Amino acid sequence: MTPLQYTIIQLLADGLFHSGERMARETGVSRAAVWKALQELRTLGVAVHAVSGRGYALAHSLELLDQSAILEHLPDSTRFVLEQFDVHRSVDSTNACLLRQANGHAVSACVAEHQNAGRGRRGRSWISPLGGNLYLSLRWRFDEGMGRLAGLSLAVAVAVIRTLQEFGIQDAALKWPNDVYWHGRKLGGILLEITGESAGPCLVVIGIGINVTMPAASGKDIDQPWVDLASIRAGISRNQLAGRLLHHLVEALLTFTQSGMSSFEQEWCAADLLLGREVILSQPGAEIRGIGRGIAPDGALLLEIAGQLQRYTYGEVSPRLLERPA
């Protein structure tokens, strides 16, 4: 996103109409340059309305991400742990930003207004329109190696549930291992990327995407039923959401470092979308049906298949509901 595009977004963020002439005057460019920037913003997922005689307006007012506003929602204890926090206008992905910090802070985080190469699990793309959703990543150092990280993504998912509950959303659910659902539609997702030694220090970059106000045009590119927070509970501040999510995430990671997955198992089970339901496991060349029976102490998925309890770990399977819940 260019400086001109961002300035125009700032002008239009109030949701009111602004003439092309006024925007050209305030940005110091020609009306043609303003028009071109508006067309480019549309390609980034911004819904811009044009009305003859009135000018241009966004489909709805927009709360831009603001570092100070986000930090206001962090308690001092979380600020003390967080060594660096950045707000980006547009990036390839927030995870990639933190992964490039080869010698950076042990605990750092960032958010972005837009991602042009957002990533989901197993190489899938993450639809990331400008200014509508929350794209947040946190980098965390673990000193005891990858072998101690079993169940980490589930602990992160519990932190997301705690955040949503704080905003009055009590019926969100978790689909193993990393998806957040609401009434059978996807609300968000989690991606963990790990670098380091299996028995030595390692760095984990945790990416979280939550649909806040998904433009309908961008939603058409999502290949599964989805929902956004605006449809569930209107008026949730993205800055407040980012701050509270960061707090719950840091709190969860501190707890996980001390006691592992055991401190999160009960909350995971309470939100487990697959528990007691028939699901399909997709494997190379085969599909297996079973009944969800919760998780093992290390976070592995437990399925009852032909009367026997089987466990499945990350990367082996892709569970999906046989029947979508109402």
* Residues assigned a catalytic role: 121, 186, 320
What are the b/e assignments for 82-119, b being 16+ CB within 10 Å?
Answer: beebebbbbbebbbbbbbeeeeeeebbbbbbbbbeebb
DSSP codes, 170-222: --EEEETTTEEEETTEEEEEEEEEEEE-SSS-EEEEEEEEE-SS--HHHHTT-
Calpha distance 116→90 (Å, rounded): 7
- Are residues 135 and 115 in contact, defined by beta-carbon separation less than 8 angstroms? yes
Calpha distance 89→65 (Å, rounded): 9
Calpha distance 310→56 (Å, rounded): 57
Q: Pinpoint the alpha helices (H) of 65-118.
A: 67-71, 76-81, 94-99
